Structure 1
Amino acid sequence: MNAPFLPAPTLLDTARRMVPRYTSYPTAPHFSAKVDAGTYGGWLEKVRETGEAISLYLHVPFCRTICNYCGCTTKAALRDDPVRAYAAVIHDEIALLADRLGPVAVSHIHWGGGTPNILPPDCFAAIVQDLQDRFRFRPDMEHAIELDPRHVTAEGARRLAALGINRASLGVQTLDPAVQKAIARIQPLPVVEASFAALREAGITAINADLMYGLPLQNLDVIRDTTERVVELRPSRFAIFGYAHVPWMKSHQRLIDEATLPDAEARIRQAALAREILEDSGYVEIGIDHFALPDDPLTAAQNEGRLHRNFQGYTDDAATTLIGIGASSISKTPWGFVQNAPDNHGWRRAIESGRLPTARGKAYEGDDRLRADVIEELLCRFEVSLTEVAARHGETLEAFSEDIRRLAPLERAGWVATEGGRVRILRHRHEIARVVASEFDAYLGRGGRHSAAV
């Protein structure tokens, strides 16, 4: 049967399509309570049996203030008391995990939030020591943390370095005063410069800078100024994220005047300008929204075909198991995904009762792994051999016949090629990669709302 004729798309219409970010597949809206603590416990014991190294993600859901643009699971904490109470429960969760995993090797640790360094120094140090006592840190382990430049001090940077932190991601976002006021995040350039200097003086030289486009009041001049100024600080990596306006999920985003948000065409131009500046400055494009210096490990991973994508973005982490610790954190295992209870109280109650704080998850079934591989390759390399992926999973190219048909409008537009069992994104790669990936998503349309592709 011939595919129905669909007109060639316009770039703007394609960029407006609401699709997942695909940091996992299946995506979080399709997790359910069918995966419970018992299921997860069984998966952890199987991880132990493999003897393979794992990665850890620790979520600290607290900030001193909440930025208007924030899409993270976090809450304001003006005092240390709730943060200390949270840290105490983290130790109990680590113990529950260690009972099932044993002294497994750890290849990567990533701290996210929130603002991870909101943890009082003694609490932070105690958690690191607990992890080190229960697991085996590999000598080449990457130990990364996300930081708010407004809360980086020389003393704090030295403490982080002493605990083994060897990579930091700084949330710069924008340097424009008007935009900063609109998003309730005031951090002038000298604050950002001081955070870079403090980290480098402490010996943490692998520094990532996160920038955003699509924020209220942003225009091309603002994007150019911010990007060029941060390039002068020469971070190891950049991540250029589009602001996801999802006020139905994050009520504080209603504080942003929607009339001040750039439209789809402006967002495309802003992202393109940032990319152009970074590439002209010697950074290598990594996937749809990351950049790295030529000698960075992420660049080597891309060149050698070892690039992966997970909840933290693009990574050279080859571990097949990522264990999330803390409220709302998500774990990935070879058998499926698990998410902890998203609210601190529910997470704490489960742990204090001696149970893993699993709220929901998704076990791989059917062709989930097959489609996950296709989506990851498209987002990491902008092309995929469907024939090779199918063969790895004991399938044939016919498994993708309907998906290929749905790509016909993009192929007629000259943006995608599908010849020889291979899909290649030829034009507008950054704008349409998530859209192309979504055509291989068997769950799309079965619930969940997403942000625009650009």
Structure 2
Amino acid sequence: MTRQLPLADLIRKYSAPVPRYTSYPTAPHFHGDVGPERYAEWLRAIPESGDVSLYVHIPFCDTLCWFCGCHTKIVRRYEPVLAYLERVREEAALVSAHLPEGARLSHIHWGGGSPTLLEADEIASVAQSCKNILPCTDDAEFAVEIDPRDLDDERIAALAEAGVNRASIGVQDFDPEVQRAINRIQSLELTAACVGKLRGAGIASINMDLLYGLPFQTEDSLAETLRHAIAMDPDRIAMFGYAHVPWLKTHQRLIPEDALPSPLARLNQFAMACDVLEAAGYMRVGLDHFAKADDPLAIAAQAGTLNRNFQGYTTDSAASLIGLGASAIGSLNEGYIQNLVPIHDYMRSVEAGELPVARGIALSEDDRIRRHVIQRLMSGFVFSRSELERHFGSAARAVISEATRMEDFERDGLIAPTPDGFLVTRTGRFFVRAVAARFDAYLARRTARHSLAV
């Protein structure tokens, strides 16, 4: 019998730390047996007619945001950035030498750190290096993560000239007390001006990144942030949960833990945000993204073609993702790789003419089956037995059997049975990471620590 437990009881039962599932297997299970030689083999195996996605990591900022969970380094001088970018261009050439001529770039994404720390000349140069790897498709998406505090007219013009057509603007929260607590001082006026200038330069597709679960954040203050964000009319809004992992990111110890909302308060913040954004005409996409109904992300979600990778939810359907830069992760048909994380180690490896791979993992058939299940749960909130059999045949039987043993989730109203499997309920969507974790064969093998599931 299904029973709807109060949210507080569901949190106590299902909020144990689990991965965010931007990949499966997740990064803590990568290992050193996958190195440069195997990565080169995987690159050469990309189909000649295949689409390729490219991620470039710029691991530099000029100020430290205390909430940040990214691999980044604070710089006061520009010379280290220039030296790093030279190695990125060299890595791009190393990768290009292994790729088939017929492949095409369908997506480019620059993340950080802060890509807009780059000056205009370097924006143009790195963009050209990306396009030198492979020709772009006619409808290629070129997205860049934007810090409005770095942006000036010259950089905006360089981004537009480089072909950037989607800007992902970091906001987090507009409340001054919250901003002081996370060391991210960014005025509403500065952000609005940034949005206007980007659109004026022809970069029409705007994403906005917000956070819930921050110190001193309340439902009322978050609702006010949402009101300001909606007024800027972005095409997409990402409503990420702050991941407090001070054992991994020691600068997060600067955030007062007693000012963080409780797990229940945090979930109530997100539930309120879902209601506000949906009332404003945004469709909930996956776990934590929202998009206008005519946006490609919403269309992909409705069509069942939505994907999830290390940059979040995406329309990117390329089977191959190449990562450039320190700590960047690539995903290919055969498995995952991650570049060396320390910037100096990465630069030395590239300077020596080597692909700077530190670790990775080759996918087994069981990995592929479970990855498919977790991807569909995280993106479409559905488990389909027939779909799994269509893709994997009899090899999927063991995982299908596991899907029949989800009585606790069903009993508590987080999933509902269907003739072909089950779907995650509206309440269950808040706990979908916990549902996905039930299919994670690696979770009990290592002692990696994760953020809470809600």
Indicate whether the TM-score tops 0.5: yes
1:3 is matched with none
Confirm or deny: 8 A CA contact 1:241 1:289 kept in the other structure: yes
Matched-pair contact (CA < 8 Å) for 1:336–1:362:
yes
- 1:403 Cα offset (Å): 2.7
| 1:291 matches 2:290 | yes
* Partner of residue 271, structure 2: 272
User: 1:152·1:198 contact (CA, 8 Å) conserved in 2?
Assistant: no
**8 Å contact kept, 1:390–1:397:** yes
Report how many aligned residue pairs link the two structures: 447
Task: Give the match for residue 337 of structure 2.
Answer: 338
Residue number in structure 2 paired with 1:450: 450
Q: Deviation string for 1:74-121 (max 9, x for gaps)? A: 010111100000001011101100110144310000000000011222
Cα separation, 1, equivalents of 2:175 and 2:14: 25
List aligned pairs for 1:26-175, cutoff 5 A: 26-47=25-46, 49-103=47-101, 104-175=103-174
Question: Is the Cα contact below 8 Å between 1:220 and 1:270 reproduced in 2?
Answer: yes
Mean CA deviation greater in 18-27 or 402-411: 402-411
Superposed, which structure 2 residues align to 1:388-403 within 5 Å?
A: 388-395=387-394, 398-400=397-399, 403=402
2:42–2:334 contact (8 Å) kept in structure 1: yes
CA distance in 1, matches of 2:173, 2:35: 40
* Offset, 1:431: 1.4
Q: Is the 8 A contact 2:15 2:434 kept in 1?
A: no
Q: CA deviation at 1:14?
A: 3.9
Residue type matched to 2:236 in 1?
A: R
1:242–1:52 distance in 2 versus 1, CA, 3 Å: same
Is the 8 Å Cα contact of residues 15 and 264 (structure 1) preserved in structure 2?
no
Q: Deviations over 1:2-43 (max 9, x none)?
A: xxxxx9993112452111100000000100001111110100
Moved over 4 A (4+): none
Deviation at 1:411, TM superposition (A): 1.0
Q: Distance in 1 between the 2:61 and 2:356 partners?
A: 22
1:429 is displaced (CA, Å) by 3.0
Q: Relative to 1, partners in 2 of residues 1:261 and 1:383: Cα closer, same or farther, differing over 3 Å?
A: same
Taking every aligned residue pair, what percent have the same amino acid on both sides?
Answer: 45
* Distance (whole Å) between structure 2 residues aligned to residue 16 and residue 306 of structure 1: 28
Flag the 1:106–1:208 CA change in 2: closer, same or farther, 3 A: same
Q: Secondary structure at the match of 2:419?
A: helix
CA deviation vs aligned residue, 1:35-70 (integer Å, no higher than 9, x gap): 1111101000001x4430100000000000110000
Paired position in structure 2 for 1:183:
182
Q: Retained in 2: the 8 A contact 1:15–1:452?
A: no
Secondary structure of 2:186 counterpart: coil
Unaligned runs of 5+ in 1: 1-6
Contact 1:147–1:168 (CA under 8 A) maintained in structure 2: yes
| 3-state SS of 2:77 partner | coil
- For residues 48 and 442 of structure 2, the distance between their equivalents in structure 1, rounded to whole angstroms, comes to 30
**Whole-angstrom distance in 1 between the partners of 2:396 and 2:39:** 33
- Quote the Cα distance in structure 2 between the aligned partners of 1:134 and 1:12: 47
TM-score (norm 1): 0.95
**CA, structure 1 residues 292+401, in 2 after alignment: closer, same or farther (shift >3 Å)?**
closer
Root-mean-square deviation (Å)? 1.6
Check the 8 A contact 2:369/2:388 in 1, yes or no: yes
